[in-house]
Structure 1
Amino acid sequence: MHNRPIYITDLDHTFLRTDQSVSDFSREVWNTKSKDAILSVATARSFQKTHDFLEKLHLDAPMILLDGTMIVSPDKKLIDLKTINKALGDAIVEVGLQFDIDPFIIGLKDMDLNEAFLYPRKLNKHQKFVLKGYKNDPRLQFNPENKTMELNLKIVYFGDKKTLKPLTSKLKATFKDAIECKLSPEKYSDGYFLTILHPEGDKAHALQKVMNYLERDPADVTVFGDSVNDIGMFKLAGTSVAVSNALDEVKAVADVILPHSNDEDAVAKYLKEQKR
């Protein structure tokens, strides 16, 4: 464990192809590499979704899920959880109403990691677009009252920049250090999304926790990513690698910028070249 190289990759737009598949090549390289390296993921996705994507991949380090709010071992043991409580969650939703926008709320129903994805009555075109991708998801729950849960992992607003930018400023001014706000362009559409998390519920804090768990130094890890939520992790890791389709602000802090995109198996090609 103590001298094996460690690689942690983001999923969407980084390791996964745009159609959200893992290519045979990527799977083969990953599983070969896992014999002499420690491999895992850091993703905005949930345990169930990540598990579905990765069922044919060998994982032996804890997974960083839901932007870092949750760290789970491959055998589903909860290592860390950072939630927003109901009182704070409901107060955040109230601020959103001033901007005429309702959020999606992702939370835990119980400590067996059963998640719920709550969606509101009022949906804008960006939210409708996102929801289409979830239509058969068993976690979906209609939330007409717009109330948050006891254990909220993240509160997410999809919309246009002119709504979400002032909403972000207002939330930061209102709640200060009680929450973390991340505003990013949405790659699948022309909109933006705002993710609200526990202040320590980000990938950088989670990466530090995983390194402590493995009894290794963050300098020992190589991370891969493409988006704003990867930047903290990039700054902490010994080596940070951006795929060619990464956002410019991510490339600006990367140690390595790959010549290939997620659709060209960029991460797997890089892993294959690393002899140790």
Structure 2
Amino acid sequence: MKNIYITDLDHTFLRNDLSISDYTKKIWNSFSDSSIMGIATARTHMKTVHFLKGVEVNAPMILLDGALIATMDKKIIETKTLCRNVSDMIIDEGWKFGIYPFVLSLSDEKNLRESFLHDKVLNKYQIEVLKRYSGDDNLKSFDGIRAEDKNFKIVYMADEELLIELHEHLVNIFGDDLKYILAPEAYVGCHFLTILNKDADKAHGIKSVSEYLGFNLQNLTVFGDNLNDIGMFNLANTAVAVANSHDDVLVLADVVLTYTNEEDAVAKYLESLS
């Protein structure tokens, strides 16, 4: 029975400049003939494929925090989305706090085309994030943002205090009908609040991939660093945290590495198994 290795991307597999070293590619790819090698990330399909050039991935990828499961060549295995009405309600409630979100949507299911929606009213954190996407062709700007028919996730970025208030407000309205992730955002120094379909998370995504490929979760090792990795940490037989992980992730890990994402932590762990 093959071993399964699934890694988060940002601050786990990717270095802080969003690159992957040749060393990491070499070690990771050396496992691909004998093991199932997969990805579980908050990133879109488009960005994930871009970052993983030269990296062997032989399992459907768990994308957008589990809202999308798809292969490298754009075959959709499963989606867990928010409808337009609910998404617009969330947007309206957020505006009561003076903030609009980013909305990641499925605009073309046949060709797996994702849209990145944003309002023209942006805070300093959103402005900084959009600089990283300025060359992308899937951006849509609004005067009064509205969602699409199928939305993968809604993401607010702001100071922690504001997002705690917004989180509590949304829970009072929607309760357990939605999934919420409130966590630090390391790139621009704020927090993010992600709202998803209640069944969208990395753990659910891994279960779906395991059913699709027919692998045993007892052979599963996962790598992560942040709060959206907790579900898959609880699911995996071996949960590996990189040294720069959030404290709440470290306490759940079976293995805590002495290396950070900047130091090829995942590859060094894999190499130690050889």
Shorter-chain TM-score: what band? over 0.9
Please state how far the C-alpha of 1:153 moved relative to its aligned partner.
0.4
Instruction: Determine if the alignment matches structure 1 residue 37 to structure 2 residue 44.
Output: no
Where do 1:70-85 residues align within 5 Å?
70-85=68-83
Contact 2:226 2:246 in 1 (8 A): yes
Contact 1:184 1:228 in 2 (8 A): yes
The residue type equivalent to 1:240 in the other structure is A
The structure 2 residue matched to 1:64, chosen from 62, 65, 85, is 62
TM-score of the superposed pair, with normalisation by structure 2: 0.97
Please state how far the C-alpha of 1:75 moved relative to its aligned partner.
2.8
Partner of 1:118: 117
- What CA distance in whole angstroms lies between the structure 2 residues aligned with 1:189 and 1:57? 27
Between the two proteins, the alignment pairs up a number of residues equal to 273
The residue type equivalent to 1:262 in the other structure is N
Contact 1:219 1:236 in 2 (8 A): no
Please state how far the C-alpha of 1:204 moved relative to its aligned partner.
1.0
Gaps of 5+ in 2: none
- What CA distance in whole angstroms lies between the structure 1 residues aligned with 2:21 and 2:14? 8
What SS is found at the alignment partner of 1:210? helix
Partner of 1:197: 196
Partner of 1:178: 177
The structure 1 residue matched to 2:100, chosen from 81, 98, 102, is 102
Contact 1:83 1:152 in 2 (8 A): yes
- What CA distance in whole angstroms lies between the structure 2 residues aligned with 1:184 and 1:143? 26
Partner of 2:254: 255
Structure 1 runs of 4+ off > 4 angstroms? Answer: none
Partner of 2:9: 11
The residue type equivalent to 1:181 in the other structure is Y
Please state how far the C-alpha of 1:192 moved relative to its aligned partner.
0.8
Please state how far the C-alpha of 1:245 moved relative to its aligned partner.
0.5
What SS is found at the alignment partner of 1:146? coil
Can you list the C-alpha shifts for 1:98-145, whole angstroms capped at 9, x where unaligned? 101101111011112101101112111111111111111111111222
- What CA distance in whole angstroms lies between the structure 1 residues aligned with 2:61 and 2:217? 15
Where do 1:166-245 residues align within 5 Å?
166-245=165-244
- Structure with the bigger percentage of strand: 2
TM-score of the superposed pair, with normalisation by structure 1: 0.97
